[in-house]
Amino acid sequence: MKSLVWFRSDLRLHDNPALKEASIVSNEIHAVYVYSNEQLRTHNEANVKVDFLIKNLFSLEEKLKDLNIPLTIVKGSGFEGDSELILRIAEEREIEKVFCNSEFGEDETNRDYKTLKVLKDSGIGFQSFHDKVIYPPGSLRTGQDKPYSVFTPFKRKWIENFDMEFLDIDFDYIAKDTTNISSNIKSFDFDFNQTHQVDMTNWKEGEEEANKKLELFLNNKAIDYSKNRNDPIIDGTSRISPYLALGIISPKKCILEALKCNNFEFSSGHIGITKWIDEIVWREFYKNIMFSFPKVGRGMPFQDYSKSIKWRSDESELNAWKTGNTGFPIVDAAMRQLLQEGWMHNRLRMVVAMFFTKNMLHDWRVGEAYFMENLIDGDFSSNNGGWQWSSSTGTDAAPYFRIFNPITQSTNFDKEGLFIKKFIPELKDMDKSIIHNPPTEHRKYCNYPLPILDLKESRLRAIEAFKTAKN
């Protein structure tokens, strides 16, 4: 059989269900990737992420070449045009069946339904797989047969239903018959403005690099992950989120290797490893939320009452936040890290998001979009879930209103002010006793801005806004 594997956010060979199934049933395999600037802009994909995507397409092409599978890059337009594009390629190459791995966004889901229909009408098979979650999306249900909207019981059910057979990912791919099709990646015009300021030496492309990062983390950092994960100056996290976002490594692979290091225990053993597994489960939780509650993918809050919140709009405040000039050092250092590294420490993502939505009382959707525009690891469901959690408009909203004090967060998790000094050079000589909230005279001397708002007043303003909306 002659098959076509349609790559999307699954740019790997290992634990790729679509490629595996195609390899089992086919003697000749073609591969295709639809590259669309329009789709990338629609989903606010960051320039740095697109740069990383393109580099990983080149890496994938080299790996597929060893299996005699040519990778063709084709130029797409909007999501609605992908089905006809895949049909045309399948017909031209006399493809009998198309294989792919599912994506959960509404645009992507509608695209796949349409593709299934047009291929079926033309007598061509279509099969998709779930590679981004352990369980089929929406399959874990409460006792009332409803989708979960709170993480802790979701995780409990996730563990209760877990079977090690889920992690059977070993498969030796066999090189296929050669084709008369050649890869075109070297001549393809990606035509994308890839300008960004991120130093890419921290983000090397390729499946091998992703596996190296995972191995390094599990062997050297994971044991202390629970202790170090909230300290932004310590390199204590895995930093594999960009690879997960593009599917360069699978969540199954992550969980399997973590369990191997923890005697195959979820709740005992190394607390650092179990805590890290929690982070993978959180990703799955948010993908299930997007699948079960499509409104969150349409810019709607999960909590209906929050539609009534009167968000503020202040352009000068917004620009101060975006550029790291709010006058709150931990917030500013985090935002500058985002711009310099294309990545932000997870604790700080919550800090800056709460500052934005609570103290500034700006619409979470504005912050959500800005993160996607700058994150190399931008993942729509996780980013949306995190922003809605921080803004108290999303899941797990109990209590319905929560807010971090940025100064307290700074003193708790950057005690010595080292992270602040790294990203705010104006404050590099400031004593740790005052760096978290410098006195006015010290700010003037260092040319560091005064706070854009009063924490106490802004907190009370936010509480009142949420109370009014809820009542």
Q: Single out the catalytic residue among 228, 311, 373, 405.
A: 311
Let me know if domain 133-167+207-292 sits in CATH 1.25.40.80. Answer: yes
Q: Does 343 participate in catalysis according to the annotation?
A: no
Q: Single out the catalytic residue among 6, 276, 282, 321.
A: 282
Q: Tens digit of pLDDT for each residue in 289-347? A: 999 999 999 999 999 999 999 999 999 999 999 999 999 999 999 999 999 999 999 99
Q: Tens digit of pLDDT for each residue in 152-189? A: 999 999 999 998 888 888 888 888 888 888 999 999 99
Helices and strands of the chain, counted as H and E runs: 20, 5
**Is residue 25 classed as helix, strand or coil in its secondary structure?**
helix
Verdict on whether the full-model pTM lies above 0.85? yes
pLDDT confidence bin for 398, thresholds 50/70/90: low
Q: Single out the catalytic residue among 21, 279, 373, 426.
A: 279
Q: What are the extents of the domains in the chain?
A: 2-131, 133-167+207-292, 304-470
- Into which CATH architecture does domain 304-470 fall? Orthogonal Bundle (1.10)
Output the average pLDDT for the chain. 94
Task: Report yes or no: 7 and 33 within 8 Å, Cβ to Cβ.
Answer: yes
CA pair distance 468, 354, nearest whole angstrom:
19
Q: Does 321 participate in catalysis according to the annotation?
A: no
pLDDT of residue 268: 87
Mean pLDDT of 411-440: 97
Q: If you ran DSSP here, which 8-state letter would residue 432 be given?
A: T
Q: Single out the catalytic residue among 6, 343, 387, 389.
A: 387
pLDDT confidence bin for 402, thresholds 50/70/90: confident
CA pair distance 336, 355, nearest whole angstrom:
15
Q: Single out the catalytic residue among 228, 346, 405, 412.
A: 346
- For domain 2-131, the CATH superfamily is HUPs (3.40.50.620)
Q: Tens digit of pLDDT for each residue in 237-255? A: 999 999 999 999 999 999 9
